[in-house]
Amino acid sequence: MRLEITCDDRLGIAQDVLQILRDYEIDLRGIEVDPKGKIFLNFPELEFEDFQHLMPEIRRIANVKDVKTVAYMPSEREHFEFKLLLNKLPDPVLSVDSKGFIDIANDAAQQVLTDNRSELNGTAISHWLSGFAVQRWLDKQPTEPTTQQVSASGAKYFADLMPVWVADENGHNSFAGAVITCKPQPLVSQWQRGNQQEAFGQILGEHASMKRLLKEAARMAQLNVPLLIHGETGVGKELLARACHQASSRAEQPFLAINCAALPDNVAESELFGHGKGSLGPYTEAKKGIFEQANGGTVLLDAVGEMSNGLQAKLLRFIQDGRFRRIGEEQEVTVDVRVICSSHDDLSERVEAGKFREDLFYRLNVLSLHVPPLRERKSDIPLLAEHFTVQACQRLGRSLVMLTRAGRELLQRYQWPGNVRQLENVLFRSISMAESDTLDVRDINLPEVDSLPENLPVDLEDGTLDEAVKKFEATILRRLYPSYPSTRQLAKKLGLSHTAVANKLRDYGIGKRKR
C-alpha cells in the first residue's frame, strides 16, 4: 500500500507521521519526501477497519492538507522508466560496483552473455569479459572514462568504461563502480586513402592465418609488380585487392575490376584494351579500355584463369612492356598500371592441364597471397557475424538486432562452403525476416551441407591389407577434396607433395574423370 500526503513544509512533520505508524504497529517499507510538499509512504496492505482509522489520524496532523492512496512511489516509477529505457538500448550495458560485481544488466547484455539461462547480477565481471583487466582498472578508482577492446562469448566489442562517483551533502566524493557499454561495431566507417593501417583494418580477422596474410599483403602493397591472389569463392579476394591498392602509392588513382569469366572473349578484349572508331561496326565510337582508364592506378583481373589463350597472349605482352593496341587501331598505347589477378583455383594446375600459358603464369605469380577459407578460421566467425549484423540493420533501417549465444554457436559449427560472402548473405536474410530484436537458432536458415559418415569403412575380409589401406586412403581423400579443391592445398593439409596427391586423386578418380 502506498500513501501520498500533501502538506506544507514544517519542521518535524515527518516525525509526526512516523509516530502514527508506530502507534498502529505498521511496518514501514519506505518513505520519500518531495521538496514540493509531498510525503510518500510504502507499507503492507491493511485491513479496511485499520485503514479507515489511519487516514483521519494523518489528516489531523498540523499542516497536512490531503491524504490519498497511490499506485506507486516516485522512485518505483523512476526505476521502471530506467529499466524500460535500458532494455530498449541495442548495445549491452552493465553496471558494476567498486569490487567488480554486476548489479545491473540490460536485456542486450543478457542475450550476448547468457541467453537468459543464468543470472548476471552478483557475478564478477571478469567471468564474462576478457581482453581487459576491468577489476584492476576499478582498483585504481579511476576518474576518467576509457575505451577498450574486450571479448564477450567469443565476440569482439569496443567497451566504454565510465567510472561512477557519488557526492554526499558535504561534497565528498566516493567511488561507486562503473557503467560499461559495449559497442558491437568494430570498424571505422570510411577508408582513409594511403593509410595502411586503415586500409587493411577493413579486413576482419583475429586468426593467426589472417594476421599473417595481412602482414604479407601490407609489405606487397608497396611493390610495383603483379600480384596474384588465390582463394575459394567468397573469401574476400577483391576486398584484399582493394586494400592493397589503398595502401599503395597509387591510392589516389583509379581502382578498376573486371570479371574475366563473366564476359565473352571478344567483349573482354574490348573492355580491357578498348577499340577504335568503327572497329566493331559502322556506328561505334572509339572507347578507352579499362587499362587506359586506370592509368596510374590498379586493375584487378578476377577469375583470370578463365581467360582465353588469345587474350592471355595480349595480356602477357602488355605486362612485359606496358603497351597494347586498341581493337581496330595500329597505334600503340602506353599506360602505367599495376595488375592484380585473382583466381579461385590453382593456376599451376591449369598450366599443367594446358589451359593457361606457362609464361603468363610466371609473369603474374611474382607475388602471391592465399586467402584461407572461413572453415579454417572459425574463431573469426563471431567477429564477422557482429559486423555483418550491424551492416544489415543499417541497410534495412531497423534497430540493432542482437545475435544470441546459441545463434553464434550455430554459426561456428557450420562449414560455410560459400565462405564470408555466404555468412553475410545468411545474416542479411535472417535479419530481414526476423520479427524481434534478437537472432536465435530458429531465425537462422542454413542450407544443408552434404557430409560423409564419420566412420571410415575398413574391411579386411575380402582383400589384402594393401587393398584395405587403399580403400581407407581413398575415403579420406574423397572426404577432404570438397574442402580443398586445389591439390596444393590438399597436399599441404596432408603433409604430402603436390605430385603425390595429384597422382592419388587420379588413381582413385577423385575430382576429375580418369582418362
Q: What is the pLDDT of residues 247-291, one digit of tens each?
A: 999 999 999 999 888 777 778 888 888 888 877 777 778 888 899
Q: Is residue 39 part of a domain?
A: yes
pLDDT: is 232 or 82 the higher one?
232
Using pLDDT thresholds of 50, 70 and 90, give the confidence band for residue 192: very low
Extract the C-alpha cell encoding 262. Answer: 563473366
Q: Residues 302, 233: contact at Cβ < 8 Å?
A: no
C-beta atoms surrounding 118 within 10 Å: 9
Reference 365, options 236, 198, 226, 217; nearest CA is: 226
CATH number of the domain within which 286 lies = 3.40.50.300
Extract the C-alpha cell encoding 114. Answer: 547468457
Mean pLDDT over 335-361 rounds to 88
Q: What is the pLDDT of residues 155-171, one digit of tens each?
A: 778 889 999 998 877 77
Q: Is residue 221 part of a domain?
A: yes
- For 439-500, the DSSP string reads E-GGG----------SSPP---TTS-HHHHHHHHHHHHHHHHGGG--SHHHHHHHHT--HHH
Alpha-carbon distance 180 to 82, whole Å?
A: 16
Taking the CA atoms of 349, 351, 355 and 357 in sequence, report the sign of the dihedral they define. positive
Using pLDDT thresholds of 50, 70 and 90, give the confidence band for residue 184: low
CATH number of the domain within which 431 lies = 1.10.8.60
Instruction: Sort residue 496 into left (φ over 0), alpha (ψ -120 to 50) or beta.
Output: beta
Q: What is the pLDDT of residues 130-164, one digit of tens each?
A: 888 899 999 999 999 998 888 887 677 888 999 99
Q: What is the pLDDT of residues 15-50, one digit of tens each?
A: 888 888 888 888 888 888 887 888 999 988 888 777
Q: Residues 125, 134: contact at Cβ < 8 Å?
A: yes
Q: What is the residue-averaged pLDDT of the chain? A: 84
20 sits in which H/E element: helix 13-23
212 pLDDT exceeds 60?
yes
Query: What pLDDT is stored for residue 449 in this prediction?
Result: 58
Using pLDDT thresholds of 50, 70 and 90, give the confidence band for residue 90: confident
Mean pLDDT over 427-438 rounds to 90
- Asked if residue 333 and residue 213 are part of one domain, the reply reads yes
Using pLDDT thresholds of 50, 70 and 90, give the confidence band for residue 189: very low
512 pLDDT exceeds 60?
no
Q: What is the pLDDT of residues 453-462, one digit of tens each?
A: 444 445 455 5
Helical H runs in 226-264? 237-246
Query: Which of 394, 413, 443 finishes a domain?
Result: 443
Mean pLDDT over 348-377 rounds to 89
Three-state SS for 366-427 is CEEEECCCHHHCHHHHHHHHHHHHHHHHHHHCCCCCEECHHHHHHHHHCCCCCHHHHHHHHH
Alpha-carbon distance 271 to 256, whole Å?
A: 11
pLDDT: is 448 or 335 the higher one?
335
Reference 75, options 104, 48, 41; nearest CA is: 41
- Asked if residue 213 and residue 354 are part of one domain, the reply reads yes
Q: Is residue 460 part of a domain?
A: no
Q: Is residue 81 part of a domain?
A: no
427 pLDDT exceeds 90?
yes
Name 278's Cβ contacts closer than 8 Å, sequence gap at least 6. 284, 328
Query: What pLDDT is stored for residue 164 in this prediction?
Result: 92
Query: What pLDDT is stored for residue 274 in this prediction?
Result: 87
CATH number of the domain within which 143 lies = 3.30.450.20
φ/ψ of residue 390, rounded to 5: -60, -45
Query: What pLDDT is stored for residue 483 in this prediction?
Result: 66
- Asked if residue 320 and residue 175 are part of one domain, the reply reads no
Extract the C-alpha cell encoding 425. Answer: 548473405
CATH number of the domain within which 476 lies = 1.10.10.60
Mean pLDDT over 293-317 rounds to 90
- Asked if residue 97 and residue 67 are part of one domain, the reply reads no
pLDDT: is 492 or 60 the higher one?
60
- For 165-189, the DSSP string reads EEE-TTS-EEEEEEEEEEE---S-S
Domain span holding position 143: 90-184
- Asked if residue 226 and residue 176 are part of one domain, the reply reads no
- Asked if residue 14 and residue 100 are part of one domain, the reply reads no
Three-state SS for 265-318 is HHHHHHHHHEECCCCCCCCCCCEECHHHHCCCCEEEEECHHHCCHHHHHHHHHH
- Asked if residue 362 and residue 396 are part of one domain, the reply reads no
Alpha-carbon distance 428 to 434, whole Å?
A: 10
- Asked if residue 333 and residue 276 are part of one domain, the reply reads yes
CATH number of the domain within which 38 lies = 3.30.70.260
- Asked if residue 279 and residue 242 are part of one domain, the reply reads yes
Reference 391, options 366, 342, 428; nearest CA is: 428
Alpha-carbon distance 249 to 32, whole Å?
A: 68
Question: Can you tell me whether residue 18 is helix, strand or coil?
Answer: helix
Q: Is residue 82 part of a domain?
A: no
- Asked if residue 165 and residue 36 are part of one domain, the reply reads no
Using pLDDT thresholds of 50, 70 and 90, give the confidence band for residue 79: confident
Q: How far apart are the first and last CA of the chain?
A: 90
122 pLDDT exceeds 60?
yes
Query: What pLDDT is stored for residue 197 in this prediction?
Result: 57
Q: What is the dihedral of CA 102, 103, 104, 110, to 10 degrees?
A: 40
- Asked if residue 392 and residue 355 are part of one domain, the reply reads no
Q: For the chain, what is the domain count?
A: 5
115 pLDDT exceeds 90?
no
- Asked if residue 437 and residue 409 are part of one domain, the reply reads yes
Q: Is residue 189 part of a domain?
A: no
Query: Which of 370, 392, 419 finishes a domain?
Result: 370
Question: Can you tell me whether residue 139 is helix, strand or coil?
Answer: helix
Using pLDDT thresholds of 50, 70 and 90, give the confidence band for residue 193: very low
Q: Is residue 324 part of a domain?
A: yes
188 pLDDT exceeds 90?
no
Query: What pLDDT is stored for residue 206 in this prediction?
Result: 85
Query: Which of 43, 75, 107 finishes a domain?
Result: 75
Q: What is the pTM of this model?
A: 0.60
Q: Is residue 168 part of a domain?
A: yes
